[in-house]
Every structure is written in C-alpha cells, then in structure tokens.
Structure 1
C-alpha cells in the first residue's frame, strides 16, 4: 500500500541557457525517473515545484501535471501582475501555491507596500493558496513578519535554511517557532545540505515541538540542483527517520499533513 508524498521535487526536460538565470542544469530531470524513486519508497505522489531557472514560464510544469492524477500538485512562479482569473485557471490545472525564490540576493525582496503585491497576496488568500519562501534564515526576518501579518498561508523551504546551530539563536528559526500559534505557517523538512549548519536535528525537533506535526511536510528536493550526485533519493527519505524517531509522527508528516496543505488526493 502506498502512503505518503514527496512535497518538494523538480521535473523538467533538457534546459538551454535561460535568460535572467545564473544556473542551467547539465541534464534533464524526467518525470519517470522521479516516479521510480517514489515507487522505491512506496510513496503515492507529490508536489512539483517550478525550478528557479525557468522563472515565470510555467508551461512545462502545467503540461506535466495534465498527465497526472490528483496525487500530484504544483507550485509555480508568477509575476505580481497576475490576475485572480489567471490564478483560478492555474488552480484548475492542479496548482496550489506560488514560490518566491529569494536566496543569495538573486532579487530584491518584494515590497509588501506595493499595491500590486498586496493585490497578489489577496488573490492567493482568495484561492486558499500558499506562498512558499526560499530564503536564508538570517534574512527571513526582513519579510516574514509582514507576510505573516497579511494573513497569507506560508510554506518555508528547506527547514528555513538556518545559519546558526542552536535553534533559539537562529533569527529565522525563532520567527518560525513563534509563528506556530497562528497555524498559518508550514515548514518543509528537506535539503539540509543547503544550510551551513551541519546537524539540523535540533531545528527539526524544535519545529515539531512548537509548530506540531500538522505543520511539517517532507520533501526530497530531487534532483538536487547544484548538489547532484551527492546522495540518493533513499538517503533523503531516510533523513526523516534520523530527524524524527516517532513512527506515527513521521507517517503524519509524510501523508496526513501534505494532504491537508496541498489538497493531495482531493478531486
């Protein structure tokens, strides 16, 4: 029996140089290869996230989702001019959220006082979508409070990319722990290799304690762009057991929590 979902993966064909991106993958990441990995761990489906190097051109992701059932969902990148009607059309195609990829100074942080961004966030709330933040933990305080105040659902990538070994000393982690009471913030347990902190078990345990298992989801980050060849899918799946010892908690994080957040399995 298949239970559980990979809530952070990327699938794409051969990629030529992309305008505005400083990275282009050396090889494709076929859907079939990812699904073979899901099968190897007896996972039912998952969430495909628009790769940063493809920018706002979501056509390939939409085409892939059209071939899949409701055990799969997608997260896109969109400009602030996107209308509610356009977002509704994407919702019908299996999209459930938007990603802001803001790491490494790739772009200035969105101005949350900009009327267009305010409208954009209102559109996400109207569609019950989430906003996924990919941002270093020490920079998270620059934008998280404003977004949290706005009331949009937030999904934080890669354990919040902490920069300090002690959770209480990491500025981003502190914010996430404090946000637990509002029940509008989720964290993806994924990609520990993208953080400078070697051991993220204390951070995961703190998040589990303060946010609860229903605010945590797991992701493989397949095919590990910029970190290819360093580990296997089975490795990434096994990290969850290293971080969380309780079997019931792990199963909840793999299956129940993602169903609720991403509408996985829903018609």
Structure 2
C-alpha cells in the first residue's frame, strides 16, 4: 500500500539482531519493513543501555538516506542529566519512554510513587527547555488514574504525553468511564495517541477496535493521532508474530475516509511532523 508522501511510522523497533548488525544495514531493514518514508524509532523494554549507540547510529543512517528519523529513548530518572538530555536532543531524540512506570505498575507499585517519577521527568524536561512528550505503554485503568496528574503537569510545564497502543484499550473498552477520561485528555490536547499494536489488542481483527479508533480520531479533529506499525512484532519471550501491516493500513484508511477529509493525512503525516520535527 502506498502511503502519502512524507508519511511517518511512529512506533517501530530495531530488529532482534541489532547487536551484530551495522547501523546502515539496520536502517535498510526498517525501510524494507515499513511502507512509511520517515521513522520514529522506539527503544523497547528489553533493550539494555548498550543498545543506545546503535539506536542513535541508525537514526543517523536513516537521515543520511534522505529519510527523516527521530527517536524515543528509555532513561531512568538518574540518567536524565542536563548534558545527557541536550546531547540526545542533538542526536534526534524527541521523547522519553517511561517503561519504569509500566514495570512498577505491573508489580503493584503505589500510584503515588509512579506519579513522582512522571512529575520528576516532566520537571527535568521543562528545566532544559525541551518540549519532548512523555511516552508510555500503560493499561487503560492506569492512564485513567493518572489523568488529574497529567492535567496538572500540562498546566504547569506544558507537558504532553503519548499513549502507546490507544491506551491499551480493547474492544470492550468503548463507552467505559476509564476510556472516557482518556478521551478527555486527548480532546484537551494533553495526550497524543498512537494507533499501533493492533495485532496485540485486536487479535480477532481490526474491525473489533473500530469504535475505539474512531473515537480517538474524532478528538480535536484528528490532530492527536499517530500511526505506528509496531514492527517487528516481537513479544517479551522473543516470539515473532506475522502481521499484515498493509491490511491494517487499508482498514485504517477506510476508517479515516469514513470520518471525513484530512483524517488520513493527519494520521500518517501531519501530526507526526508537527510533534517530532
């Protein structure tokens, strides 16, 4: 499927053999794997700090191929030093992914401790004059519980957030109070939403998530939605799923066109350019 010129894949990972493959070769894998022209690479929960150099080098290699590339990195709070943040900005990094929050919530951490990590990150970024959004893959209920904090941080620092995989909402989430709270954050311009991870959250097919996708796209006239392939579709155990990205995009285009003019271009091009460049 042909995407609009200058389209973006905002949720794509380095392939599993990253440690033994040069950056130019890795960049070539990404170009072949996704129909998008530009890329926002994500570090995954399984990436070690040793991955960062090849991650940065791959962003550089993509840019040298006349693509536009940016990155989302995972950093611990103690790693967010002024020098580190400024260096990453110059290397094309444009957001921080707080996987430590996801892990903490999975382990039953107190929500207050999680809020401290998010607040501290927002304060550090603001202090360095960086408008990076804070990216996270959290459960729908966790996003809902954090909603008051996110509003506060947005008002205080101008912080925005990115919710991976549509807040991890499932087919039964449409109409729930938690999803309603999350949509309010989107409508207020506080949370951007990646329409990604469709194979994970709609194993019976993308049509089961159509109500969720449509509601996300309708917020602010489609200005807050981003598309991501989630390639190479590897789970925490290292198993790789076969995903028909072309079919997913065809269905997404149909949904966008059903909502009106311009939604498809916003999802695949315009929103990412505004957020990442």
Which TM class, normalised by the smaller chain length? 0.7 to 0.9
Cα distance change on mapping 1:129 and 1:193 into 2, 3 Å: same
The CA distance in 2 between the partners of 1:218 and 1:52, in whole Å, is 20
The alpha-carbon deviation at position 256 of structure 1 amounts to 0.7
Between the aligned partners of 2:255 and 2:138, the Cα distance in structure 1 is: 22
Number of positions where the alignment pairs a residue of Structure 1 with one of Structure 2 = 246
Separation in 2 of the partners of 1:72 and 1:32?
13
Structure 1 gaps, min length 5: 17-28
- Match in the other structure for 2:94: 96
1:193 aligns with 2:207: no
- What is the match of residue 5 of structure 1? 8
Q: Distance in 2 between matches of 1:241 and 1:106?
A: 38
Residue matched to 1:176: 182
Equivalent residue for 2:54? 60
Whether contact under 8 Å (2:199, 2:243) holds in the other structure is no
Deviating beyond 6 angstroms after TM superposition, the runs of 4 or more aligned structure 1 residues are none
**2:235 is the alignment partner of 1:235:** no
Shift of 1:163: 3.9
Q: Cα deviation per residue 1:157-196 (whole Å; 9 max; x = unaligned)?
A: 011111452522151x212211134312100011123226
How far residue 127 of structure 1 moved from its aligned partner, in angstroms, is: 0.5
Report the TM-score, using the length of structure 1 for normalisation: 0.81
- Cα offset for 1:110? 7.4
* Residue of structure 1 equivalent to 2:148: 145
Within 2, Cα distance between the matches of 1:252 and 1:113? 31
Q: How far does residue 56 in structure 1 lie from its aligned partner after superposition?
A: 4.3
Per the alignment, residue 214 of structure 1 pairs with 223
Provide the rounded CA distance (Å) in 1 between the counterparts of 2:176 and 2:189: 22
Which of the residues 154, 162, 169 maps onto 1:155? 162
In 2, Cα distance between the equivalents of 1:196 and 1:4?
Answer: 24
Q: Please state whether the residue corresponding to 1:30 is helix, strand or coil.
A: helix
Q: Which runs of 5+ in 2 are unaligned?
A: 20-24
Residue 30 of structure 1 aligns with which residue?
26
SS in 2 for 1:68: helix
Distance in 1 (CA, whole Å) between partners of 2:81 and 2:254 is 43
Asked if the contact 2:253/2:264 (under 8 Å) is kept, the reply is yes
Structure 1 residues 207 and 145, CA gap change in structure 2 (3 angstroms): same
CA distance in 2, matches of 1:106, 1:229: 26
Secondary structure of 2:113's match? coil
Counterparts of 2:200 and 2:107, CA distance in 1: 16
Match of 2:22 in 1: none
Any conservation in 1 of the 2:115–2:146 contact (CA below 8 Å)? no
State the 1:242 CA deviation.
Answer: 4.2
